[in-house]
Amino acid sequence: MEQLLLLIFIPLVGAIVTAFAGKSAKIVSTVFSVASLVLALVIACNFIPNASTQFEVNLPWIADLGINFHAGIDGISLLVVLLTNLLVPIIILSSYKHDYKNPAAFYALILFMQTGLLLVFTALDAFLFYIGWEAALIPIYFICAIWGGKDRIRINMKFFVYTIAGSLFMLMGIIYLYLQNPAHNFDIQAFYALNLDSVQQGWIFWAFFIAFAIKMPIFPFHTWQPDTYTAAPAQGTMLLSGIMLKMGIYGVIRWLLPIVPSGVHDWGQLVIILSIIGIVYASLIAFTQKDAKRLVAYSSIAHVGLIAAGIFAFNQQGMQGAMVQMLSHGINVVGLFFVLDIIFSRVKTNKIEELGGIAKVAPQLAIAFLIIVLGTVALPGTNGFIGEFLLLMGVYNYGIWAAAIAGLTIIFGAVYMLRMYQNVMLGETNSLTITFTDIKGTEKLVLYTICALIIVLGVYPKPILHLTEASVQHLLEQVNQKLNTVN
């Protein structure tokens, strides 16, 4: 109990301290983020890999409304808790070469966002989940709006409107479930136990799914994403792509599937179709991109489409693949955006046609970038392979044609990512890249850490699979049992 409370509130205390740290904000935020990572690792080491909820906290909060500060960790939530606490210090370290205006506010917002994310990933009370959901949105909006690039106000307003609209749908769904609950509380198990008819489940499905689909994002709810990723500061893009989109994936697994299994059964095929359309659409758009950052943004849509298809295929392989790929995608996409940030900081452009020959003058960056790209395109032996293999197996078990089309994400991804690498890194240097300097200091630390994770998780994924297996199997059994009861 104490460990989980510490895990949630260390970043919040860190945000408050960092806000008054002035020029020491970088160091202070790094210390608090590393402390969170150490505690997360301690929790992981003490976690028993079964289907139970552990480190549970259940304290009265707003008793008159049946709201408790109820949080806990199982195998599903532990994976995203580890991802969050791993990536935040990496993202902070990646910013060390930048001199952001008002750094105290910048780093405080990152830690405040971490608090919101951890609430989302551990909440066992729907009201607490919603508070975390909104708390994570506010800081990333200001990070993008204040430190973003050209046209950032218009772009971030679109992002804000999309996400707030989705959140309001989810809030209406939560209130409806609360009113249907005889105990009049927001406890997740009480919501699981509700006996809603198929019509009610259909409405609740869409109320939640729209909110989750916007965050992920799934076609056609994706239109805010490429512009926001491009206009955001590098660290904002890393937070959005590496962690924040996992809120939507996690929400589907934790809240949508167990509460409205009939809704998932009735509408799941449509979601798989939308996901597969998104895979093909985003991949084809990625081929046409001249800006490397936008190319990676569309690549992310394609990868998330495959994750969504694997979840709604609703089998052990697809669900396990989604869990592993959440972790792998978070690591890989942060690595990609960091490399592009390094390139932009040197030559002030991410236009692919203006680059080239960087490998000749920066071989260490080129090798690190290649490892990250190979992880992204799911080369066997890298972290991306096992997740995508399980996802495709899960979708194949759902339908062979769905798997055949969804598999295009691997083929297309390999083509456009390797072509981008070739045009950026290989060939002859030009007037922009001839003076390019290789990575050093914290740049090396971040990239070497990411590359090590890509290789280690690719060669030996068993601990991650073992961590989530029991919880995923229990969730599937729970949902199938409820579905059979309803039918």
Tokens 């009861």 found at? 485
Q: What tokens appear for 101 in the block?
A: 């205006």
Q: What 8-state DSSP symbol labels residue 315?
A: S
Task: Return the pLDDT at 228.
Answer: 82
Task: Return the pLDDT at 174.
Answer: 93
pLDDT cut 90: percent of the chain above it: 44
Distance between CA atoms of residues 176 and 166, nearest Å: 16
Using CA atoms, how far residue 373 sits from 18, 29, 337, 420, in Å, is 34, 29, 11, 10
Range with the lowest mean pLDDT among 64-73, 409-418, 476-485?
476-485
* Band of residue 1 on the pLDDT scale cut at 50, 70, 90: low
Residue 487: is its pLDDT beyond 70? no
Q: What is the pLDDT of residues 310-324, one digit of tens each?
A: 999 888 888 999 999
Among 367, 248, 383, 385, smallest CA distance to 305 is for 248
Among 293, 355, 331, smallest CA distance to 461 is for 331
Torsion, Cα 225 228 232 234, to 10 degrees, reads 20
Q: What is the pLDDT of residues 372-393, one digit of tens each?
A: 999 998 889 999 899 889 998 9
Distance of alpha carbon 63 from the chain centroid: 33
Distance between CA atoms of residues 183 and 281, nearest Å: 45
Task: Return the pLDDT at 107.
Answer: 94
Tokens 């890509």 found at? 454
Distance between CA atoms of residues 179 and 202, nearest Å: 17
Distance of alpha carbon 84 from the chain centroid: 9
Task: Return the pLDDT at 477.
Answer: 87
Among 311, 177, 304, 312, smallest CA distance to 244 is for 304
